[in-house]
Homo-oligomer: A and B are copies of this chain.
């Protein structure tokens, strides 16, 4: 089954509203095994709306349209589908009555315009909307199923979940078309996108079901494995096989699945090992700690940290020897190491992690350019420091540095597994 999502509204077209409806509807359709082949956004212009509707009903088996069901003359979705499908609008007396009663209860005047929201293309089923005045419409037409839902996200969501998806799922099963489509994401860090794709080439090239799609993120790569099958169990089995083959190739560069963030993966390792961590951040200004504490329950392993932005504070709060700063500069291996060891003793944590670097855009020199960062990890057996050269704007450099720090900490916890 080929689905198309049509979202209607000038505010979407002009970018004044981000089109979250299209994304939500696509996810819902994937759950019932309907693949979305197109998404189209069109404004409230009659000709272009009609053209978009004609294209959609021609090329798709299922068209879900959201928006343009309001009571005003600008709201043309109902009328346009009725015309294109040659299914004249008829008044749904039950809904008209409900609308009149609702308006009366709230003491609001009821006009002929409001009756527009009780009009349904011939053959269509009206889906009652508990959250607003525009009902949904479900229309089984030769060759295409058309569903109209209102634009406000909470109204769309309730109608889709409660009325549309159950109908569509029955429809799909009845037709023996379609199957379930299930996805899993593997999250990879420490290996760039092209390198990872190269390593996975033998798997990627032969893969048809499940499909594997790489998604490049900032300083990490995700692989989305999507399996199609008649039953969920079979789809999960296919995904598990492919996931295992990817893990065999990439090893523990795969740090997590689905919505497991890197900070969550690190947190799980810390909790599992019963270790605590504290941070000494300079260039990242608190981002590493912010990420670590985004994880619910992080107070079990995160003690706290020192944001030693100024040199004086590196000395007074972390006990960094001012001679090191004078001799090597604040952005140096020596200072990073002293910071990591210093925060560990100041806070009594098992592990101390530190960052010092040039976040930019100012402050770079030929010797110490913008993006140069030292990250150190200290534990009871000593301290390890690595040098990084990040690129991008200030916020990108901060993000990449935080990513590298979490990955260095993860490596440390993995390598130290046996100890």
- Residues of chain A whose beta carbon lies under 8 Å from any beta carbon of chain B: 10-20, 22-28, 30, 36-45, 48, 52, 70-72, 74, 102, 105-106, 108-109, 111, 113-114, 130-131, 152, 154, 158, 183, 192-195, 197-198, 213-216, 218, 224, 226, 279, 281, 284-290, 292-294, 296-299, 302-310, 312-313, 316-317, 346-348, 359-363, 389, 391-396, 398
Contact = CB atoms under 8 A, between A and B. Distances in A.
B285 A292 contact: yes
A44 B213 contact: yes
10 contacts: A10-B224, A11-B213, A13-B26, A14-B26, A14-B30, A16-B215, A38-B42, A44-B213, A70-B214, A281-B286
A309 B303 contact: yes
Contacts of A215: 11, 16-17
Copies in the complex: 2
Contact of A23 (B17, B42, B296, B393): B17
Contacts of A304: 306-310, 313, 317
A365 B360 CA distance: 43
Given A40-B40, A48-B37, A304-B309, A290 B290 contact: yes
A113 B198 CA distance: 9
B294 A303 contact: no
Nearest to A195: B109
Contact of A12 (B13, B39, B72, B391): B39
A302 B308 CA distance: 10
A285 B291 CA distance: 8
Nearest to A109: B195
A292 B396 CA distance: 15
A111 B296 CA distance: 41
- The 8 lowest CB-CB distance pairs between A and B, nearest first, are A285-B293, A286-B286, A15-B26, A286-B289, A39-B41, A15-B23, A15-B27, A304-B309
Contacts of A28: 15
A274 to B, nearest CB: 16
B43 A37 contact: yes
Nearest to A212: B74
B305 A307 contact: yes
Contact of A13 (B18, B36, B310, B393): B36
B306 A299 contact: no
Nearest to A360: B296
A391 B103 CA distance: 12
B11 A19 contact: no
B296 A290 contact: no
A15 to B, nearest CB: 3
A129 to B, nearest CB: 11
A123 to B, nearest CB: 28
Contact of A213 (B10, B299, B316): B10
Contact of A307 (B38, B214, B218, B306): B306
